[in-house]
């Protein structure tokens, strides 16, 4: 029996490709980890095994990392990929000289920027996260506490302090988005449910009505909503597709009537929802 | 009056350096934004003004970005810095040809990796965040819901499903750490307060005692704790330094006696606390 041309050969010629990826950092390595994930997701045929090695803040620890890289190369027969944000020159040299594919995340760009600005960098480390006790950091903690306290329509005073108030039917994605906005951007994001009671009354909940300018809506496809609600309360009226269709249609009608912008969360990640909310509400601190 | 040598001259010779930084992405640009912040924090004498330009997913939008870069260069008299994660070749060429210092975040490393692996990349975009509806994404949402439901000792059933249970005195950082672990790593992190009642009784809260293997402690300097509590409840007994000293000493004594590892959150960012917890509890999914 003959296979369609190419299929068989291709299949035989490519054993599964595996590669260990070390993310080596003086600090947490979280930024480098996320970044490396983005870069590596462009090689779909390879199965990467990421290993984050944080707080490599002495040459001794860097030597251990180098030894680990060498062991991996020996055991797997191929050099692992090494994403480094090490800044200390001695530590970096240690790791660079190991048997890996060494990618110097900071150095690569710091060099370009030094040239362009005609300045030397400070070669300091671990500055990527807000230091504890800084004002920025306090704002972030305050925002997290605010978003938690104002989750799902709780604690309805102080809504005037909110940067944004997300509205939408239960389980459309308000809570994770609020927390993400607070955690990542120190944005005080409250959220408030739109419920069948509101739809029967035909008006916005009286608590949020005075803050119309801060309202932003989240919506969702009824089919997806039914799935999500079914995981939470299987076989309830609340999770029925018919109920979900009713609530979504009513919520969108109300938002349209009240002139509230909204977006559909159905296929979006938390990061995408948060970014769109920031753009639409003009909260992008960087603009 | 003479200034110490150099001081005056240095001061006169350096006008404040300002530079606009555009973060241009097909997707949210959040990873690139955090990354660029790390890189640029190594140039302390420059005041950077970051502008994130997300969802640049058409050549038309890329042309608008290029025009914006050119306007900025004209208005400020210096080319802005451009961090790009654009993957679409036509869009990238548009932005690359504008009058900026162009840094191709993905391309730079994708090229190296292609060479090292002997493979071509897929040039696909926006893969950095977990897609909605994927299993990973559902795990993440589940973890956020879990951590919210099990915040501050609420909802004490299902603790057996927790990946980790953070314990410590009120306001030592348990809540933000739990939420971060859930949001970033889909870790089900519960948290439970250690209170004066527990110290008087001299035993772990009975709810968490059966889960000793999952407990991890957070502690904090009493002086810092008093500051944090004073912001929340000014001039209360709860916020008094003496009270904070008592609670912290008792909590640490209890954790020592019960063999619970802990770390001090006093000078650490949420990311640093979360990373250390993951290392200590063996939750680093990548290990």
Please report which confidence band the pLDDT of residue A16 belongs to, taking 50, 70 and 90 as the band edges.
Answer: low
Smallest CA–CA distance, residue B251 to chain A, in Å, is 22
Q: Where are the domains of chain B?
A: 17-121, 135-281
Which of A102, A154, A275 is the best residue to mutate to test the B interface, defined by the most B CB atoms within 10 Å of its own CB?
A: A275
Contacts of A87 in chain B (CB under 8 A): 42
Q: Three-state secondary structure along chain A?
A: CCCCCCHHHHHHHCCCEEEEEEEECCCCCHHHHHHHHHHHCCCCCEEEEEEEECCCCCHHHHHHHHHHHHHHHHHHCCCCEEEECCCCHHHHHHHHCCCCEEEEHHHHHHHHHHHHHCCCCCCCCCCCCCCCCCHHHHHHHHHHHHHHHCHHHCCCCCHHHCCEEEEECCCCCHHHHHHHHHHHHCCCEEEEECCHHHHHHCCCCCCCHHHHHHEEEEECCHHHHHHHHHHHCCCCCCCCHHHHHHHHHHHHHHHHHHCCCEEECCCCCHHHHHHHHHHHHCCCCCC
**pLDDT computed for residue B214 by the predictor:** 94
C-alpha B112: how far from its chain's center?
A: 28
Beta strand B164-168 with A46-53 is unpaired
Please report which confidence band the pLDDT of residue A63 belongs to, taking 50, 70 and 90 as the band edges.
Answer: very high
Contacts of B267 in chain A (CB under 8 A): 131-133
Smallest CA–CA distance, residue A188 to chain B, in Å, is 14
pLDDT at residue B12 above 50? no
Please report which confidence band the pLDDT of residue B136 belongs to, taking 50, 70 and 90 as the band edges.
Answer: confident
Q: d(Cα B216, Cα A264) in Å, to the nearest integer?
A: 39
Q: Per-residue pLDDT tens for A260-280? A: 999 999 999 999 999 999 999
Q: Per-residue pLDDT tens for B190-220? A: 999 999 999 999 999 999 999 999 999 999 9
Please report which confidence band the pLDDT of residue B132 belongs to, taking 50, 70 and 90 as the band edges.
Answer: low
Q: Number of CB pairs < 8 Å for A and B?
A: 213
**pLDDT computed for residue A249 by the predictor:** 98
ipTM: 0.85
Higher-confidence position of B125 and B283: B283
Q: Per-residue pLDDT tens for B240-258? A: 999 999 999 999 999 999 9
C-alpha B71: how far from its chain's center?
A: 33
Which helix (H) or strand (E) segment holds residue B273: the answer is: helix B270-281
Under DSSP, the state recorded for B262 is E
pLDDT at residue A136 above 60? yes
- A116, B267: Cβ pair inside 8 Å? no
pLDDT at residue A287 above 50? no
Contacts of B33 in chain A (CB under 8 A): 286
Please report which confidence band the pLDDT of residue A116 belongs to, taking 50, 70 and 90 as the band edges.
Answer: confident
Give bridge partners of residue A20 from the DSSP assignment.
A49
**pLDDT computed for residue A8 by the predictor:** 38
Q: What is the dihedral of CA B260, B265, B266, B272, to 10 degrees?
A: 140
Is A175 a known ligand-binding residue?
yes
Smallest CA–CA distance, residue A239 to chain B, in Å, is 17
Contacts of B85 in chain A (CB under 8 A): 38
Smallest CA–CA distance, residue B255 to chain A, in Å, is 24
Sheet containing A262-264, strands listed edge to edge, beginning at the edge strand earlier in sequence: A189-193, A164-168, A215-219, A262-264
Closest C-alpha among A172, A165, A161, A140 to residue A151: A165
Please report which confidence band the pLDDT of residue B133 belongs to, taking 50, 70 and 90 as the band edges.
Answer: low
The pair of structure tokens assigned to B91 is 């869009």
Average pLDDT score over residue span A65-73: 98
From the options 3.30.1560, 3.20.20, 3.40.50, 3.10.450, give the CATH code of B135-281: 3.40.50
The overall longest dimension of chain A from CA atoms, in Å, is 74
Q: d(Cα B43, Cα B59) in Å, to the nearest integer?
A: 32
- B116, A81: Cβ pair inside 8 Å? yes
Is B100 a known ligand-binding residue?
no
- Which of A212-221, B104-113, B124-133 has the weakest average pLDDT? B124-133
Would you mind telling me the total number of residues written for chain A in this entry? 287
Is B58 a known ligand-binding residue?
no
Beta strand B215-219 with B262-264 is parallel
Domains A17-121 and A135-281 equal at CATH topology level = yes
Q: d(Cα A12, Cα A53) in Å, to the nearest integer?
A: 35
**pLDDT computed for residue B286 by the predictor:** 43
Contacts of A224 in chain B (CB under 8 A): 133
Average pLDDT score over residue span A45-73: 96
Q: What is the mean pLDDT of chain A?
A: 88
Please report which confidence band the pLDDT of residue B44 belongs to, taking 50, 70 and 90 as the band edges.
Answer: confident
For Cα atoms A179, A23, B39, give the angle at the middle one, nearest 5 degrees: 70
Under DSSP, the state recorded for B239 is G
- B81, A265: Cβ pair inside 8 Å? no
Topology classification of domain A17-121: Rossmann fold (3.40.50)
**pLDDT computed for residue B130 by the predictor:** 52
**pLDDT computed for residue A1 by the predictor:** 37
Average pLDDT score over residue span A3-18: 50
Please report which confidence band the pLDDT of residue A231 belongs to, taking 50, 70 and 90 as the band edges.
Answer: confident
pLDDT at residue A122 above 80? no
Which of A15, A31, A121 is the best residue to mutate to test the B interface, defined by the most B CB atoms within 10 Å of its own CB?
A: A31
pTM score, whole prediction? 0.86
- Which of A114-128, A271-285, B27-41 has the weakest average pLDDT? A114-128
- A116, B79: Cβ pair inside 8 Å? yes
Q: Per-residue pLDDT tens for A164-205? A: 999 999 999 999 999 999 999 999 999 999 999 999 999 999
């Amino acid at each position: 029996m003959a296979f369609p041309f190419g299929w068989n050969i291709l299949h035989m010629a490519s054993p599964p490709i595996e590669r260990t990826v070390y993310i080596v950092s003086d600090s947490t390595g979280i930024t480098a980890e996320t970044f490396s994930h983005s870069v590596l997701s462009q090689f779909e045929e390879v199965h990467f095994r990421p290993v984050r090695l944080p707080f490599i803040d002495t040459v001794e620890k860097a030597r251990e990392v180098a030894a680990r890289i060498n062991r991996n190369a020996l055991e797997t027969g191929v050099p692992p990929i090494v994403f480094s944000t090490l800044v200390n020159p001695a530590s970096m040299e240690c790791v660079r000289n190991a048997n890996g594919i060494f990618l110097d995340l900071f150095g690569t760009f710091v060099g370009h920027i030094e040239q362009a600005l005609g300045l030397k960098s400070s070669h300091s480390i671990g500055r990527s996260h807000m230091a504890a006790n800084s004002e920025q950091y306090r704002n972030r903690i305050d925002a997290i506490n605010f978003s938690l306290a104002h989750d799902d329509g709780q604690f309805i005073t102080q809504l005037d302090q909110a940067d944004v108030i997300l509205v939408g039917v239960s389980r459309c994605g308000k809570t994770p988005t609020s927390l993400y906005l607070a955690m990542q951007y120190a944005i005080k994001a409250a959220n408030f449910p739109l419920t069948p009671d509101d739809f029967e009354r035909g008006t916005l909940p009286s608590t949020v009505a005075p803050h119309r300018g801060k309202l932003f809506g989240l919506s969702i496809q009824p089919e997806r909503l039914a799935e999500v609600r079914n995981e939470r309360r299987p076989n309830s009226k609340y999770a029925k597709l018919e109920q979900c269709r009713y609530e979504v249609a009513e919520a969108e009608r109300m938002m349209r009537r009240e002139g509230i912008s909204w977006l559909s969360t159905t296929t979006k990640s938390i990061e995408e929802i948060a970014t769109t909310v920031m753009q639409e509400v003009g909260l992008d601190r960087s603009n």
